Amino acid sequence: MKKTFLGTVSGIALTWIIVGCGNEEAASGSEEGDGTPHVLDLATVVTAPHPWIDMAEYFAEEVEEKTGGDVEVRIHHTGTLGDDEGSIDEMRLGTVDFVIGGTQNAAPFLREYQLFSLSYLFEDMGHFQEAIAHDSELTEEFRNLHDERDLGFKLLAFAGGGTRNLANSIGPIEEPEDIAGLQLRLPDSPLESKIWSELGAVPTSLPWNEIYSAVQTGVVDGFESTLSGFKGSNLNEVTDYLSVSEHQFMVSHFSMSTLTYEQLPEEYAEIIEQVAVESGYIGTENGIEYDEEILDELESLGMEVNEVNKDAFIEILQPLHEELAEDIGASELLDMIQNLNHQ
């Protein structure tokens, strides 16, 4: 099958890191610190292989090295510390120090995150990468929103994570009308419910780690997800059809407990902020690579994979952007994305 990933990707994560992260003092490691060991916990709901796991492992290794072993980051994957919303609640209390997850599941805490659930929001991969860069106007505005709302957790970086596609156990989805009546699992996002209801789906809100059993038992017919999340959670075992819709570029957040941040020595906090940005770029790059590799693997495993009529979906969904952005108070953020002059 011909690969359909939008845009042309140039450069590698290391180039972005060198260009984008200029804090040389933090990069050279801590000269002072407080000499006190700090053991910090990072939660994510996915299972390897997944860009979020790669981000977490890179982050843990680099932070430990740059702090001379004074900061140890323990990675808890596969939702062992709870689902996304539960982990974020714990992060706000300071009992979890970091969360890497999807912005859809952070939307209950910051409603503007629903903006990234708009289907076909970005024109291509270049547009997407420019929008979520650590020094972009959009990223800065979201950092400010975290601080202004006193959410209890800081946004360290945005990342990609691959494109989101449709999978189900009923039949191939090629045209928008094929979704009519489909019981579709979605994150807890009112905006996403509106989008898929517009296409005739019957939305059901479920945590990520309940999808397998929900499809297996017929509670839902299908779901939308990244390919990394799909394969990492073995969801190919309970679905037969994968429709390559690429309706979203996955926007991931790498966030940190404000309490933890304020309790750390300044030198360590600076290192954590820099390495998180580096991790974000790695997550974006690896998401692109996983998409290509996993799509080939799924076809070899016998899944029925098809392309969708994207133009038909775009014709229905893009006109909703301004209305839905206004509903969540994110019209200015939408303008920032639409007005980017990317190459």
Q: Is the pTM of this model over 0.95?
A: no
Q: Give me 230's structure tokens.
A: 């799909």
Same fold, 35-162+251-292 and 163-249+298-330: yes
Give me the architecture of the 163-249+298-330 domain, per CATH.
Answer: 3-Layer(aba) Sandwich (3.40)
**What confidence tens digit (pLDDT) does each residue in 97-125 have?**
999 999 988 999 999 999 999 999 999 99
Query: What are the sequence ranges of the domains in the chain?
Result: 35-162+251-292, 163-249+298-330
**What confidence tens digit (pLDDT) does each residue in 178-211 have?**
999 999 999 888 899 999 999 999 999 999 989 9
Report the alpha-carbon angle 199-203-206, nearest 5: 145
> Span 35-162+251-292: which CATH code?
3.40.190.170
- Is the sign of the CA dihedral 252, 256, 257, 258 positive or negative? negative
Helix locations, 79-217, DSSP H? 84-93, 103-106, 125-132, 137-149, 190-198, 211-216
Cα distances from 191 to residues 8, 116, 194, 228, 238, in angstroms, run 29, 10, 5, 23, 27
At 174 the three-state DSSP class reads coil
Tokens 């059901």 appear where?
A: 204
Mean pLDDT score, 147-172 = 97
CA–CA separation, 110 and 26 (whole Å):
30
Task: Give phi and psi for 194, each to the nearest 5.
Answer: -65, -45
At 38 the three-state DSSP class reads strand
Q: How confident is the model at residue 16, as a pLDDT?
A: 41
